[in-house]
Amino acid sequence: MSDGQFSTKPMRSGPPGEVVRTAGEYSEKPVLSADAVQTFLQSRAVQRELNALAAQPNANVGEFDCAPLDSRTPREALRLGEPLASAALVQEYLIGLIFLRFWGWVFIVIGSILALGALASLPGFFLGRGDAPLVGMLAAGGIGAGIAGVGAWFGIFRGRVVTERCWFCPRGMIWMDEGKFDWYRWEDVPELFCDLQSERSAIGISFGENVSWITFSDSAGTREVVDHIERLASAACLKSVLQLLAEGKAIRFGSWRLSQSSIRSPEQEILWINVVDIELTQRDIEIVKRDNTTMTIPLEEVPFPSLFLALARACFAYARER
């Protein structure tokens, strides 16, 4: 798999801190007894769904290309594992690139003419055949060299060095921006989206502000790797989120709220006891109610979709067991 591309880096809404995944409807203390929490955690239905998520098979990523980590990558970031995929910043649009290259070469020509003209005048000055002062010739040569240097920067060098890149690793992700590094465990990423149905498969990352979409090439192998990364991230968040759910708290997944008793969208709330099935299509999760109506949840709009699906199925199965 070749490098992916992204146009913006995800921005934080505040300083780094613990990710809050609860919906805030309840207090921070457990709302269920310790026995009720353990009953939920040890339920056969719950364990079946969660073990299926935790035991995801490894994707065959060996045949795909991935940019190696930068030699300056901090040792702490290396603990996230060998990268599975990488992406580079899309620095310039084609029109802008042509514009910069054209005027860069114009500056090179003008600057070179000035510098060479000044240089050619020096022998005449020293032989007493020229009237131009030495200071003027040196100034003209310096200005010409400066103009040519600016032209060389925009016409030749700019845009050829990748200064912003990200890597997706088994235990988290790494960002490099102008030689500065940020790295995050999957547990520390508030929202991770996955889109496998668009023309180019993509992973979306959000830290509370914008969603940065990293797109990859259109191939079955690429989609397998992107899906594998999302499942690894979901599995990494499973333990902490499951504990919150077992304590009776509602978990926030974007616009949706998930709890032991119900699933809620911005428009409606459905109790698990009124659900007859959970179906997964290529694009959606469908919650089928007893009256044969459905709640449709687009996969690309749900952060950590594999985690969301596993917890929804676990809550649904647990409600049927009771």
Mean of the per-residue pLDDT values of the chain: 81
Tens digit of each residue's pLDDT (9 = 90 or more) over 232-291: 999 999 989 999 999 999 999 999 999 999 999 988 999 999 999 999 998 899 999 999
Say whether pLDDT at 97 is over 70: no
pLDDT: which is higher, 283 or 63 = 283
CA 219 to chain centre: 19
pLDDT value of residue 264: 93
Tens digit of each residue's pLDDT (9 = 90 or more) over 125-148: 555 555 556 666 667 667 877 887
Tell me the Cα Rg of the chain. 29
Q: Which two tokens stand for residue 113?
A: 């003419």
What DSSP assignment string belongs to 117-134? Answer: HHHHHHHHHHTT---S-H
Tell me phi and psi for residue 26, to 5 degrees. -120, 170
pLDDT value of residue 93: 41
- Residue 76: CB atoms within 10 Å: 9
- Residue 2: CB atoms within 10 Å: 15
Tell me phi and psi for residue 114, to 5 degrees. -60, -45
Q: Does residue 40 contact residue 246 with C-beta atoms inside 8 Å?
A: yes
pTM of the model: 0.75
**Residues above pLDDT 70, as percent of the chain:** 77
